[in-house]
Amino acid sequence: MRKPDLPDFFGVCVGTGPKPPIVTTTHIDSEGRKVWYIGGDIAEQNGVARSEAEQIQAGKDWFAKHLSWINLDGAEWFTWRENRAEPNTGTGDRPPGAYCDQQGNVIVAWPTKLALAPNLADQVLKIASPSHPSTATLPLPHPPIGKAPWDLP
């Protein structure tokens, strides 16, 4: 959702299910407008089954019910689909913690969520062998910084 005068809102709303109903972060788009990135259950388990119009209406309904004091008149609502890159658990659920596994001479590491990055670092350090440090560097190009979804055409 985008609107120039949105208040900053970084939040995790607690519910009774396995995932929070709403998770929000505030960003500034390329034109200086505030954007609320809305995730959580509304975007995941329930959201993936909805059309774009149904998803936007679900968001409007949720905010009207739970945060009715925030004026969202004139807000621009939009949505996009993204594919998560996560280890396969076999059940379709998100892994319960950070994922770290050695595949030959490669360590596959995924924090699952940023709050687990310190735990992931601990797991990587347990696998990495300090007695065999790698001094090889690869001349790989630096990738360009991508655009945020709200700044794409």
Burial 92-110 (b: 16+ CB within 10 A, else e): eebeeebbbeeeeeeeebe
Q: Taking residues 123-151, report their average pLDDT.
A: 81
Q: Taking residues 128-151, report their average pLDDT.
A: 79
Q: How confident is the model at residue 82 (pLDDT cuts 50, 70, 90)?
A: confident
Over 90: is that where the pLDDT of 93 sits? no
List the helix and strand counts (H, then E) for the chain: 2, 6
Cα separations in angstroms, 42 against 37, 53, 95, 124, 142: 12, 14, 19, 33, 35
Q: What share of the chain is helix, strand, coil (3-state, %, to 5)?
A: 25, 20, 60
Q: Give 79's Cβ-side CA count (13 Å radius).
A: 19
Over 90: is that where the pLDDT of 92 sits? no
Q: How confident is the model at residue 44 (pLDDT cuts 50, 70, 90)?
A: confident
H/E stretch holding 59 reads helix 52-66
What pLDDT is stored for residue 135 in this prediction? Answer: 62
| Residue type (1 letter), 68 | S
Percent of the chain with pLDDT over 90: 50
Q: Lowest-confidence range among 86-95, 102-111, 139-148?
A: 86-95
Over 70: is that where the pLDDT of 124 sits? yes
Q: How confident is the model at residue 112 (pLDDT cuts 50, 70, 90)?
A: confident
Q: DSSP letters along 69-92, please? A: TS--TTPBP------------SSS
Q: Is the Cβ–Cβ distance between 109 and 123 less than 8 Å?
A: yes
Q: Mean pLDDT of all residues in the chain?
A: 87
Residue 120, helix vs strand vs coil:
helix
